[in-house]
């Protein structure tokens, strides 16, 4: 593995470790429902501070179940990842094409000189 | 980080909408200008938007025992300047508000202000200051993305504290409460976001030297200059 690839892999490993460690160390154990969304907790805090507050507008569309919601979140991530992969693939292909074109040109020039 | 639909009183919701609108309008202009002047930017703009899409869809567990997600706005702010991110961030927030019931239309103004305006500006400012002080590129990128992420959640906490001051301890008491929920949860996630942004920037320096040089992220190398002179 090249030095570059090693550094990139290391970066990914640290990100993965940061995500997994809270689960492994059981940092959610003090909660009734561990690892819920922070925005849900904020809603709970609002109701605690202002018990009378009623949300005055509700979402136009709400995913009918947690599964559908996860599916839509995955779709969002997949769309983004797809575009990113397209970008880097295209760049790589172009670079290789240019390198090949450059390599193909050079022998032509030298044979012309001979 | 998004404030849920209906969870800001109408006056607050309207005020944040009014505060955000000029930034988004200005951003749309900056974006069209960039695309017209440099059509080859379109691809990288798409990639920056895509990065925000991926990162803000990832709910990651954190030290507080709850989950939250990064924002992904630092990368685009560093590459294309903050105004462009006001647009790309708003698109992401609209997608989540309309399809995922995450965030909302009434709270869109407030969420745009934190994630698509303050985040990119503070992130870019941090990156710019560090670069000006000759800090290495990747270190500056890390802290730029880190600050963009964490500042977004700090603003969200302030927005909620202003709307829901604690009856006993007031706005500051509420700020401590919301900050504890959002900002502390966000610390490790902001580190992750910084590292992921560095990763993408590293890949870009390998694949898109030309774009990064034109955008001023990389200094033009000597060889590039000679080529440019030769072709001119």
DSSP string, B90-114: HHHHHHHHHHS-SS-STTHHHHIII
Q: Report chain B's mean pLDDT, rounded to a whole number.
A: 92
Work out the average pLDDT over B17-30.
97
Residue B170 has pLDDT above 60, yes or no: yes
Q: Is A17 touching B (CB cutoff 8 A)? A: no
Work out the average pLDDT over B2-11.
93
Q: Which residue has the tokens 């925000």?
A: B52
- Which residue in the set A14, A39, A50 is minimally distant from B1, CB to CB? A39
Which chain A residues are closer than 8 Å to B55 by Cβ?
Answer: 80
Residue A63 has pLDDT above 70, yes or no: yes
Tell me the pTM: 0.91
Q: Which residue of B has its CA nearest to A25?
A: B63
- Which residue in the set A36, A38, A56 is minimally distant from B10, CB to CB? A56
Which chain A residues are closer than 8 Å to B183 by Cβ?
Answer: none
Mark yes or no for CB contact B101/A4 under 8 Å.
no
Residue B1 binned pLDDT confidence (cut-offs 50, 70, 90): low
Distance from the Cα of A5 to chain B's closest Cα (Å) equals 10
As a whole number of angstroms, the distance between CA B95 and CA B91 comes to 6
Burial status of residue A88 (CB atoms within 10 A of its CB: 0-12, 13-18, 19 or more): middle
Q: Which residue of B has its CA nearest to A26?
A: B65
As a whole number of angstroms, the distance between CA A27 and CA B100 comes to 27
Q: What is the pLDDT of residue B219?
A: 84
Q: Are B110 and B157 in contact (CB under 8 A)?
A: no
Residue B224 binned pLDDT confidence (cut-offs 50, 70, 90): very low
Q: How many residues does chain A have?
A: 114
Residue A39 has pLDDT above 90, yes or no: no
Residue B33 has pLDDT above 80, yes or no: yes
Annotate B129-165 with DSSP letters as a single string.
Answer: HHHHTT--HHHHHHHHHHHHHHHHHHHHHHHHHHHS-
The angle, 0 to 180 degrees and rounded to 10, between the axes of the packed helices B10-37 and B82-99 is: 120
Burial status of residue B171 (CB atoms within 10 A of its CB: 0-12, 13-18, 19 or more): middle
Distance from the Cα of B194 to chain A's closest Cα (Å) equals 10
Work out the average pLDDT over B50-63.
94
Nearest to B83 by CA among B116, B126, B49: B116
Which chain B residues are closer than 8 Å to A8 by Cβ?
Answer: 199, 202-203
Residue A87 has pLDDT above 70, yes or no: yes
Q: Which residue of B has its CA nearest to A73?
A: B57
As a whole number of angstroms, the distance between CA B148 and CA B119 comes to 4
Burial A36-63 (b: 16+ CB within 10 A, else e): bbbbebbbebbeebbeeeebebebeeeb
Burial status of residue B12 (CB atoms within 10 A of its CB: 0-12, 13-18, 19 or more): buried
As a whole number of angstroms, the distance between CA A59 and CA B5 comes to 6
Residue B232 binned pLDDT confidence (cut-offs 50, 70, 90): very low
Burial status of residue A98 (CB atoms within 10 A of its CB: 0-12, 13-18, 19 or more): exposed
Q: What is the pLDDT of residue A109?
A: 55
As a whole number of angstroms, the distance between CA B146 and CA B134 comes to 19
Q: What is the pLDDT of residue B221?
A: 65
Q: Structure tokens of B192?
A: 């992750």
As a whole number of angstroms, the distance between CA B122 and CA B115 comes to 11
Distance from the Cα of B121 to chain A's closest Cα (Å) equals 23
Residue B68 has pLDDT above 50, yes or no: yes
Q: What is the CA radius of gyration of chain B?
A: 19
ipTM over 0.90: no
- Determine the straight-line distance between the first and last CA of chain B, rounded to whole angstroms: 50
């Amino acid at each position: 593995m090249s030095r570059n690839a090693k550094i990139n892999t290391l970066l990914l490993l640290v990100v993965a470790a940061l995500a997994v460690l809270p689960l492994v160390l059981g940092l959610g154990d003090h909660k009734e429902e561990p690892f819920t969304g922070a925005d849900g907790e904020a809603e709970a805090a609002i109701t605690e501070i202002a018990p009378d507050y009623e949300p005055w507008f509700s979402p136009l569309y709400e995913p009918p179940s947690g599964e559908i919601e996860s599916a839509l979140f995955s779709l969002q991530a997949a769309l983004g990842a797809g575009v990113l992969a397209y970008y880097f693939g295209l760049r790589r292909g172009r670079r290789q094409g240019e390198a090949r074109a450059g390599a193909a040109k050079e022998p032509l020039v030298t044979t012309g000189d001979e | 980080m998004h404030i849920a639909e209906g969870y800001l009183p109408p006056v607050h919701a309207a005020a944040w909408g009014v505060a955000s609108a000029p930034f988004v309008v200005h951003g749309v202009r900056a974006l069209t200008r960039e695309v017209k002047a440099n059509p080859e930017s379109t691809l990288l703009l798409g990639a920056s938007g895509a990065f925000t899409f991926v990162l803000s869809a990832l709910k990651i567990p954190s030290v507080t025992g709850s989950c939250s997600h990064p924002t992904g706005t630092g990368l685009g702010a560093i590459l294309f300047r903050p105004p462009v991110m006001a647009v790309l961030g708003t698109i992401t927030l609209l997608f989540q508000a309309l399809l995922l019931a995450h965030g909302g239309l009434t709270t869109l103004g407030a969420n745009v202000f934190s994630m698509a305006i303050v985040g990119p500006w503070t992130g870019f400012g941090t990156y710019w200051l560090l670069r000006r002080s000759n800090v290495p590129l990747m270190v500056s990128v890390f802290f730029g993305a880190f600050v963009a992420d964490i500042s977004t959640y700090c603003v969200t906490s302030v927005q909620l504290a202003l709307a829901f001051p604690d009856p006993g301890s007031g706005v500051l008491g509420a700020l401590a409460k919301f900050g504890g929920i959002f900002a502390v949860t966000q610390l490790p996630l902001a580190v992750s976001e910084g590292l992921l942004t560095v990763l993408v920037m590293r890949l870009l320096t390998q694949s898109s030297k030309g774009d990064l040089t034109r955008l001023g992220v990389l200094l033009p190398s000597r060889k590039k200059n000679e080529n440019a002179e030769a072709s001119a």
